[in-house]
Amino acid sequence: MPTATAVAHPNIALCKYWGKRDRALNLPATPSLSLTLAPYATRTTVTWGADADEARLNGRIADGKEARRIFANLDLLDPHRPPCVVTSANNFPTAAGLASSSSGFAALVLAANAASGASRTIEELAVLARRGSGSATRSLFGGWAEWPMGARADGADSHGVPLAPADHWDVRMLVAVLQAGPKGTSSTDGMVHTQETSPYYPVWTEQAPADVVEARAAVLRRDIEALGAVMERSAMRMHASMLAADPPLCYWRAGTLAAVDAVKALRASGTGAWYTMDAGPNVKVLCAAADEEAVHAAIAAVSERVERLAPGGPARVE
């Protein structure tokens, strides 16, 4: 049976996607901008043709909603597809705000496309990845990527686009892993709840595009202070929209704010470091490569586990 394997790195958004303008097509209510990060990676093998659909994730059989989400994505590739076997593993914690769905669906779409023998453009693959999980559309690209909202009703122009390759800028992203287990509220549920109940949501979506314009310019001229300022503002405004939901949604833990304080203290002492948080308690810290050790020492004082990440390459078929 035709089989293919693909590897993708997760990405962390510096300007956040939070909210959907079309739920069925998974179209975003905000544009976003991200950095794809190694050595974290998802490795996925798809066999196109089997007795029955089966997905094995990190060594266990996926069931229910999780399996449906995977096979619904393969149905989009080919509604007449044969049963498929999907085997996927992450080398980092799954579903804890470490962006596992971004690398997961990027690797799935790439492996399934290769296994099926179809030839699609990277834009077509990025649209399919978006349907699986929004952030995955950015993980097909290495380094710095954007995901514009797009204007078309069918979503064909809403997909990841490359901004600059991994070697454009030697930065680091350190992750204070405060909780490695799965989160309580999925990103999808969290953003739908926010858009349905938060009075701050319209303001969040209104100001988000300007952040992407500013972040893009900062990335292109390698201005980490300007990028760091936009990145923190985007993260805090996204979280403010959730905190104002009804009932309020808060992904932070006490350790989250301790790590944020450590970053602010570091900056006050003259070392450049900037934080961001996603749909989980972990804190990701951006810094210049030259400051990695100083930033690591400061974060390690408040977090038992600190991961070191650097810009990673595009998703690839092995």
**What are the residues binding ligand 2P0 (CB under 6 A)?**
13, 16-18, 26, 32, 101, 133-135, 187-188, 278-279
Least gap, CB of 13 to ligand 2P0 (angstroms) = 3
Least gap, CB of 51 to ligand 2P0 (angstroms) = 29
Of 118, 50, 116, the residue nearest 84 (C-alpha):
50
214: left (phi over 0), alpha (psi -120 to 50) or beta: alpha
211/291 with CB nearer ligand 2P0: 211
88/101 with CB nearer ligand 2P0: 101
16/172 with CB nearer ligand 2P0: 16
Contact assessment for residue 287 and residue 272, using Cβ atoms and an 8 Å cutoff: yes
Least gap, CB of 101 to ligand 2P0 (angstroms) = 4
Least gap, CB of 133 to ligand 2P0 (angstroms) = 3
Residue nearest to ligand 2P0 (CB): 134
25/294 with CB nearer ligand 2P0: 25
Dihedral (CA of 125, 31, 7, 51) sign: negative
Least gap, CB of 268 to ligand 2P0 (angstroms) = 27
13/218 with CB nearer ligand 2P0: 13
d(CA 244, CA 91): 35
Across the chain, the runs of DSSP E, i.e. the strands, are 3-8, 11-15, 20-22, 27-28, 32-38, 42-48, 54-57, 60-61, 84-90, 144-147, 161-164, 171-176, 274-277, 283-288, 306-311, 316-317
